[in-house]
Structure 1
Amino acid sequence: MKLEYNSKSLDYGQDGQPSRTKVLLTNLEGAAYPVFLPADVINDSDAELLEKALEVVYEENFPHRAENEKFNLIGEKMAKIDEAVDVANEAVAELRQTSEEAKIQMRKNEQRIDAAVAELTSLVLGAIFPGAEEVEVEE
């Protein structure tokens, strides 16, 4: 049922003062739906009155809509945050693994360098002191 703006009028209280604005919404099938708004909106444009009246109709038919929409939005944002946290945790785990592998490789390289230095020292000492027994080098 598509409601459209039909007319507006002021309702007056017993004191003769305007009490509310009556906006009449209709549809093509002939239904009429009166919606009551504050009296001071009588000078708003027809489009603004239609929007305000439809909001009242919506709120009457779907109470707590705003709260539900907020909770849905918060839920969606939390899901995105959870997803981002999961991705970040995976990246951190990968980085830790890579870091640990790099440390192991660095220790192996240090051991190779130490072995190469010991061998070179032994060769240099053998060249300086030919025929001498192998000299042990402290590490």
Structure 2
Amino acid sequence: MNNKGFTFIEIIIVSAFIALLFSIAISKGDYSNYHLRIQSQQLCADIRNIRILKMTEGGLYNILLSNDHYKVLNGSKILKTVQLLSQHELLYGKNEIIFSYQGVPVHGGDTIRVRNKKNNRYMEITIVPASGRVLLKDEIYSP
């Protein structure tokens, strides 16, 4: 017999193989914006947390910023150290964030950028000087 064409099984096997290759290609996507957003949200939450702790409990809560990490402190006791991903860095005006009992920043307001060094995209966290509000702008900026 002279058979022309493909069997149903052959078509299913080839389709499954193509789907497998496609799923591997998609999983290698770029997650840099996702990681940038997560680290910015974490820093913003920590700043808001020390502000609330200072207003409710008192204490000597503050955050020390460095280019590749930050520390949450109560006096000299380190409560938390957060290491940024290797491709991220912090850009800031003041390296210490302290709030008064009223929730106002002691050293005035500041804008902190969490920046991806590979593509220069960044997110901004703003500490308003008069009120102490901590704002994370829900936008990823490009140079």
TM-score between both structures, scaled by the size of structure 2: 0.28
- Greater RCO structure (CA 8 Å; 6+ sep): 2
The structure having more radius of gyration, on CA atoms, is: 1
Relative to total residues, which structure has the larger helix share, 1 or 2? 1
Relative to total residues, which structure has the larger strand share, 1 or 2? 2
